[in-house]
Structure 1
Amino acid sequence: MFGITLSAKSEKALNALTQNYLTYLTFLDTTEYSLGDICYSAATGRSHFSHRLAMIANSKAEIRQQLDSLVKGDKITGPIQGDTYGSVPKIAFLFTGQGSQYVDMGRELYETQPTFRRVLQQCDEILHSYLDRPLLSILYPNEPEDIINLTAYTQPAIFAFEYALAELWKSWGIIPDVVMGHSVGEYVAACVAGVFSLEDGLKLIATRGKLIGKLPQEAHGKMVSVMASEELINSAIAPYGTKVSIAAVNGPQSIVISGDSPSIDAIVTELQAKEIKTRELTVSHAFHSPLMEPVLKPFAQVAAEVTYCSPQIPLISNLTGEQVTDDVTTANHWVNHIRQPVRFADGMNTLQKMGIKCFVEIGAKPILLGMGANCLVDQTEHYTWLPSIRTDAEYSTLVESLAQLYVRGLKINWQGFFSSEHHRKVVLPTYPFQRERCWVEVQQERVARKSSKISAHPLLQERIYSSVLKPGEVQFEAYLAHNDLAYLLDHRAFGQAIMPASAYFEMVLAAGNQLLGTPSITFKEVAIEKALKLEEIQTVQLVLNSDGEGYSWQIFGLVFIDEEPTWTRYAAGKISRGKEEPTSELNTDLTTIKTRLPQHQDIKAFYQQVATQEFVYESNFQNLRRLWCSEGEALGQINLAKHLLNHPYHWHPALLDGCFQVILAALPTDSSDTYLPVAYPDFTFWEDPDREVFSYVKLHGQPGQETLKADLQLVGKEGKVYAEAIGLQLKKARSQSLQQKELWKDWLCQVAWKEVKKPVGTLKSVKQGDWLILADRTGLGKNLAELLSIHEQRSHVVYTDKTDQKLKPGQDSLN
């Protein structure tokens, strides 16, 4: 099983590279190259750029099949794609607790991965002093036996296995930003964090398992998982306080109780009578309960012998659910750990507050990933949950999870990954450079005239002062240079780059902010009258006239007809200071909306569908990240691309246009009609947004009609309303309105060259005269003199240098 990695600086280049690799594996002779050699060369011999692709396969044929499907655009499972424009996610290692163990866990890794094998053998040697049989015989017995489920063996086996697994991840370059364990998993987490050495960690866990394993049979008790709140369970177990306690808080509605068997049975009967779901767990003992009390004192004696250090990386405590304090470096912490409940849910909330977006489970089964996902109820964030191994797929699961981390931008130690076998570098397809023109155009810097003032805003640029302006009239002029505002060319409809309506709003918002002195601005009676084609129009003007309450405004574009400048109006409307508060006409409870609407899983497919309706949003305008939609209603998460952030915009046109794109998602998927927003009767902006915005759209009217209406609300991830449009009008778009040519372009004359034969005849005689020819030695002057002589003309050739040659009559030279 190998993983091949491809990367490029753009999606277009990555697609070309994919095609090149398909050609390479299909038509070129690669029989002497193993799949491992090809993957090794791709990973270690190529730079890793922002747009990434990883594929997992057992053979070159499987890789070729996946490449072929990608090139054809087929939807298949297998290839993993991503880009690294966002920040590289922080990683938490989650160490699984007791119950994840099974015979032969990690055997495939032990047989194939030198790092994993070396660490397990090291643990085996250390545990010789604490176990009555070798660790490796417990994990990988020669004869079928199940002693791994005896607590005295279970806990050290889990520790050793998980520690070796963590070391394997680290050898591949995956270093956790924070660690957290569940119950006995916290011992491994603490060791990885540097709280104690591997020797002391194994000593602690072996002693813990041995002491618990020696408890009498009547002290074994029971553990039961209950679907209820912690408050309800505390009330239910209160009468049994000395015999039963909460062992773990695994989620808001997931509690584990532990203790004396008769008491547990009585509590379960009471809970079931209230129709509360319960499930008895298969365990050897009632962990984290009063039944553990007898082991605390002897364990404390051993714990006091251990040398503790402050953690080198953040460690989350089971006891508090918070990052550990100095208490973790005391024996008392580890004594309390045996008896006190595991506050896993609180720990997950702490990880969320720390900004952790990626969770890797270090355990033999992916148990904590599902529990952790249930704890993080805020679905506005996108989290990655990666198992290390599964019972039926160990190495392949590891490789798939590594590929997921790779496409998210993590730096992988590929030399470490391929160290288990010898591989050689082989010839691979080269990088598909896009041959973009990089010549720097020399531009004349725009300098303010004495009658104007330069604006810092890229869409306003210059405020014009003129004697012909009316009182209260303000005028801005901007030159839309393609190299300065190249992102606008990514907004295309019917094959042409057109100015997005969002750019009009941004121009007026910027001007209104200056004139009204507030970012809170209401637009009224906005009409988009005509599509401004960016290939033709490069100079635009915004003209505002004071009307007492605010300003009326118009946007014009300049074209030349018969070399005469002609101004055409493209949009108009009114602005005033914004309403005080957002209206409550729309329900923007994001959690409720996401629950109600099905999530659109494939954003790329959405943009492909939109392109079939002649809307082509290229890279700078593909800012939708997630989408929830049904007919007539949609919610979208829009994130502005990182390279567009550092610009002096209020609402970047690419961000606001992404909000408008959600309108298209609210249309029926089978609709062939294309609608464009043409009028905005009432649109208020209260404040500038963050990089991330949610756009909620509700349509009014039946698709197929000539016009539709929509309500639009733009909301921050915390639910704060940034802007709201009520009664936005949509009209069917037709290509003719964009593609029509001005009639005058068909009136122009053309220059047509026609062949004319030279008339037969003699040269008309010219009056005889004398010709002076100044010549060099190439022979041209001499030939001209002979031609004149034929026509009975006299000539005198003068050469510009002396020569030893004898000159003929009519020839001379000078120096």
Structure 2
Amino acid sequence: GVGVLLVERLSDAERLGHRVLAVVRGSAVNQDGASNGLTAPNGPSQQRVIRQALANSGLSAAEVDAVEAHGTGTTLGDPIEAQALLATYGQDRDRPLWLGSVKSNIGHTQAAAGVAGVIKMVMALRHGVLPKTLHVDEPSPHVDWSAGAVELLAEPLQWDRHDRPRRAAVSSFGVSGTNAHIVLEEPPLAEVEAEPVGEPVGEPVGEAPVAWVVSGRSAEALRAQAGRLADAVAGVRPVDVAHSLVVSRSVFDHRAVVVGAGRDELVAGLRELAGGVASGVVQGVAGGGGKSVFVFPGQGSQWLGMGVELLECSSVFAARMAECEAALSWFVDWSLTGVLRGEDGQPGYDRVDVVQPVLWAVMVSLAEVWRSLGVVPAAVVGHSQGEIAAAVVAGALSLVDGARVVALRSQAIVALAGRGGMASVALGSAEAGVLLERWDGRLSVAAVNGPAATVVSGDVDAIEELLAHCEGLGTRAKRIDVDYASHSAHVESIGEELARLLAPVVPREAEVAWYSTVRREWLSGFEVDAAYWFENVRRTVWLEPSVGALVEQGFGVFVEVSAHPVLTMAVQETAERAGREVTVCGTLRRDDGGLARLWSSAAELWVGGVDVDWPQTYAGTRPQIIDLPTYAFQHQ
């Protein structure tokens, strides 16, 4: 036979939130020494090992309720063991000692016999019932049962506590003459609070959302597993379920994640998943994953209230935002968090010299949140001003230099206001280039985002003419809400000013690979001096070919790190055009910027095969491992 027991120091188990099934109160081992032979037990040695185990436990014999006997069922061994128990446990007690043996149920498991006895008594402690010993028609006539208060468990017995913890002992005697005796006690009734998992996430408004992760080897098993779980979680804390699913269950390829702020919402999601109509549940089949890329967009992902909820409920986000605010304070006269919260006297997002620094800080801070969840980029890529955040996250710029570039450059861009405009056109770069020839340099390609997504910039009147012309052609075109023309000849007028303002920038070697959408090549980090940041705002943004190059080089996961996804569709279309399957996800969404959205975004990665450090989603709590349904096998 085989048996496995996990033994841990009680204080460690309580601190780590592990479920304690029973406590080893004490134990002892001795040897018969010279004896009558291998098959002849030694009664005095058995008495000595029992008394030593009780002494080591700090207990009297009367404080133990039951003994799981070695009980081999032999006419020689059983009477000797019974007499040893009568002499030790059977004396000076008000209630009888109850005696049984699991060998009547499963036979002799040889070296695993003692483990089987321990498992039986742990189960008895948990259920509060002493099980009957099978096949006991009458007590052995070879034992003087009147010599002590010991009775056989001929029937199941309700196990009461009697104003103290329930306790049982287990004997195991080896054929070589080694005797072992262990005293078990039920776990403390008042559980010690487990140590918090990670740093506190903060104090979210209402009940904190948690993620329940479920997986199976097939779609049918996944649905069945969800149904089992939904039936088994009444009366338990959602965070305990989340923790137990993460640390005590295997992970298979068919995956789903239910995110909710309370048990009812979570169970409803499980029921939908079990029924095959889970519209609000993130699910999928894990693919090859691949290396991860953080994608940082340019202007356009902003919305009133972005980041505010995370400031309150994510300590990681709040800490990084505080660092960004300190870095920006050298270059701006407004408060970063004040702008985010919409405080009186603070400027709004209608100013380019406000919205760009705020977006930079939000992106840099969200990248830190992703890292805390175990999602670490193998590369970064940025779109227009998003390259400033990419440079900081890659380590090519210090936080202060990143703040310097985004703040001072956006202040210089104010001089371009009112002179130009930008528009998105549903054309590829080549088609757009041909179309723009008729404007003879008054318009230029500002950004190539996807196979049919190009941004054009230039003179105000030329933008108006372009929009009208596209309407006549039936080509989808839309004005972008800016009054300046980045990535066009207009930027030349601030070139000298930018060179002066950004001269103190000291680029460094990048710690994370960085693919430039300006130069369409990998950068070491040392290139991104003042001249590069002029180039970044003057030249075309080549997002599509950059993403294409990354896909070809084996990058299969693209995470848009922003307050609202603006590039995910373009990235997905580029990968599809290349015939590659990739995982693409955003981070937050407009008017949906809290932990629930963040966990759902993490879920999109996890179901695609990306490892996520799920315990960080309930950091600061004290979860316990609880019993959950076993795997829903699909029988054939």
TM category, shorter: 0.5 to 0.7
Amino acid at match of 1:258: S
Residue 216 (structure 1) shift: 5.7
CA spacing shift, 1:423–1:41, aligned 2, 3 Å:
farther
Q: Does 1:199 align with 2:400?
A: yes
TM-score by length of 1: 0.49
Q: Which residue of 1 aligns with 2:264?
A: 61
Q: 1:40 aligns with which of 243, 246, 256?
A: 243
Tell whether the 8 Å contact from 1:45 to 1:425 is kept in structure 2 after alignment: no
Q: 1:113 aligns with which of 314, 328, 331?
A: 314
RMSD of Structure 2 on Structure 1 (CA): 2.9
Against the structure 1 CA distance between its residues 338 and 432, is the aligned structure 2 distance closer, same or farther, given a 3 Å change threshold?
closer
Separation of aligned partners in 2, 1:92 and 1:272: 36
| Residue 429 (structure 1) aligns with | 628
Verify the 8 A CA contact 1:187 1:205 in the aligned structure 2.
yes
What do residues 411-435 of structure 1 show as CA deviations (whole Å, max 9, x unaligned)?
A: 222332222x423214221644969
Letter in 1 for 2:381: M
Alignment of 1:411-426 (within 5 A): 411-419=611-619, 421-426=620-625
Q: What is the 5 A alignment of 1:285-296?
A: 285-296=484-495
Question: What's the offset of the Cα at 1:206?
Answer: 0.7
Distance 1:230 1:423, change over 3 A: same
Matches within 5 A, 1:363-374: 363-374=562-573
Say if 1:60 and 1:325 are closer, same or farther in 2 by CA, change over 3 A. Answer: same
Q: 1:310·1:329 contact (CA, 8 Å) conserved in 2?
A: no
Aligned to 1:130: 331
Provide closer, same or farther for how the CA distance between residues 280 and 18 of structure 1 changes in structure 2, counting only shifts above 3 A.
closer
**Residue of structure 2 aligned with 1:300, choices 464, 478, 499:** 499
**Cα shift readout 1:673-700 (whole Å, capped 9, x = no counterpart):** xxxxxxxxxxxxxxxxxxxxxxxxxxxx
Aligned pair 1:223/2:223, yes or no? Answer: no
Equivalent-residue separation in structure 2 for 1:309 and 1:119 (angstroms) = 20
Which has more radius of gyration? 1
Shift of 1:271: 4.8
Shift of 1:16: 5.9
Q: What is the correspondence of 1:133-172 to structure 2 with a 5 Å cutoff?
A: 133-143=334-344, 147-172=348-373
Partner deviation per Cα, 1:537-558 (whole Å, 9 max, x = no partner): xxxxxxxxxxxxxxxxxxxxxx
Which AA in structure 2 matches 1:58? A
Decide which structure has greater helix share.
2
Q: Does 1:209 align with 2:410?
A: yes
CA distance in 1, matches of 2:482, 2:464: 15
Q: State the 1:326 CA deviation.
A: 6.2
C-alpha displacement of 1:405: 1.9
2:214 maps to which residue?
6
Does the alignment pair 1:77 with 2:279? yes
Distance change (3 Å), C-alpha of 1:432 and 1:59? same
Tell me if the contact between 1:328 and 1:334 (Cα under 8 Å) persists in the aligned partners: no
Q: Would you say the 8 A contact 2:289–2:557 is kept in 1?
A: no
Cα distance change, pair 97–329 in 1 and its aligned pair in 2 (3 A)? closer
Cα 1:272–1:404 change in 2 (3 A) is closer
Aligned match for 1:398, one of 586, 593, 598: 598
Match for residue 542 of structure 2 among 343, 349, 352: 343
SS at match of 1:323: strand
Distance 1:392 1:310, change over 3 A: same
User: Residue type of the partner of 2:330?
Assistant: S
Do residues 185 (structure 1) and 386 (structure 2) align? yes
CA–CA separation in structure 1 for the residues paired with 2:567 and 2:375: 19
**Does structure 1 retain, via aligned residues, the 8 Å contact 2:303–2:591?**
no
User: How high is the TM-score relative to the length of structure 2?
Assistant: 0.62
Q: Tell me, yes or no, if the aligned pair for 2:380 and 2:513 is still in contact at 8 Å.
A: yes
- 8 Å CA contact 2:301, 2:563 repeated in 1: yes
Partner letter of residue 341 of structure 2?
Y
Which one of 435, 447, 463 corresponds to residue 248 of structure 1? 447
Give 1:200 deviation, angstroms: 1.0
Query: Structure 1 vs Structure 2: percent identity of aligned residues?
Result: 27
Q: Deviations over 1:729-762 (max 9, x none)?
A: xxxxxxxxxxxxxxxxxxxxxxxxxxxxxxxxxx
Other structure's SS at 1:147 match: coil
Amino acid at match of 1:78: G
Which structure ranks higher in relative contact order (CA pairs < 8 Å, sequence separation ≥ 6)? 2
Unaligned stretches of 5+ residues in structure 1: 437-617, 619-815
CA distance change for structure 1 residues 237 and 83 in 2, over 3 Å: closer, same or farther?
closer
* Cα distance change, pair 46–288 in 1 and its aligned pair in 2 (3 A): same
Within 2, Cα distance between the matches of 1:317 and 1:66?
42
The answer to whether the 8 A contact 2:379-2:514 is kept is yes
Aligned residue type for 2:592: A
Corresponding residue for 1:265? 464
1:159 is aligned with what amino acid?
Answer: W
Verify the 8 A CA contact 2:211 2:260 in the aligned structure 1: yes
Q: Which residue of 2 aligns with 1:313?
A: 512
Q: Which amino acid aligns with 1:305?
A: P
Structure 1 pair 46–104 and aligned structure 2 pair: CA distance change class (3 A):
same
CA distance in 1, matches of 2:222, 2:391: 42
Partners of 1:270 and 1:82 in 2: CA distance: 43
**Amino acid aligned to 2:278:** I
Counterpart amino acid of residue 598 in structure 2:
L
Which amino acid in the other structure matches residue 75 of structure 1? V
Aligned partner of residue 250 in structure 1, secondary structure: strand
Q: Deviations over 1:159-189 (max 9, x none)?
A: 0001001100110101122221111111111
Q: Is the alpha carbon distance of 1:430 and 1:233 closer, same or farther for their aligned partners in structure 2, counting shifts above 3 Å?
A: closer
C-alpha contact (below 8 Å) 1:150/1:284 kept by paired residues: no
Give 1 or 2: higher strand fraction: 1
CA distance in 2, matches of 1:69, 1:254: 37
Structure 1 residues 323-363: Cα deviation after superposition (integer angstroms, max 9, x where no partner): 33667344322221111011111122112212333322111
For the 8 Å contact 1:151–1:284, the answer to whether it is kept is: no
Distance 1:235 1:435, change over 3 A: closer
- For the residue of structure 2 that corresponds to 1:75, the secondary structure is coil
Q: 1:273 to 1:41 in 2, by over 3 A?
A: closer
User: Which whole-Å CA distance do the structure 2 matches of 1:389 and 1:135 have between them?
Assistant: 19
Q: Which amino acid aligns with 2:351?
A: L
Q: Which residue of 1 aligns with 2:183?
A: none
Question: Counterpart of 1:357 in 2: which secondary structure?
Answer: strand
C-alpha spacing 1:9/1:275, structure 2 compared with 1 (3 Å): closer
**8 Å CA contact 1:94, 1:181 repeated in 2:** yes
Matched residue of 1:394: which SS? Answer: coil
- CA-to-partner distance for each residue in 1:373-430, whole Å, 9 max, x for gaps? 33334385433321211112223221112112223332222332222x4232142216
CA contact under 8 A between 2:380 and 2:390: conserved in structure 1? yes
Change over 3 Å in CA distance of 1:268–1:66 after alignment to 2: closer
**Matched residue SS, 2:374:** coil
Secondary structure (helix, strand or coil) at the match of 1:149 reads: coil
Note if contact 2:299-2:359 (Cα within 8 Å) is conserved in structure 1.
Answer: yes
**Deviation by residue 1:72-109 (Cα, 9 ceiling, x = unmatched):** x442223444454x533332221121122122111111
Instruction: Report if aligned partners of 1:287, 1:339 keep a CA contact under 8 Å in 2.
Output: yes
Work out which of the residue numbers 586, 604, 618 in structure 2 matches 1:387.
586
**Distance in 2 (alpha carbons) for counterparts of 1:389 and 1:110:** 13
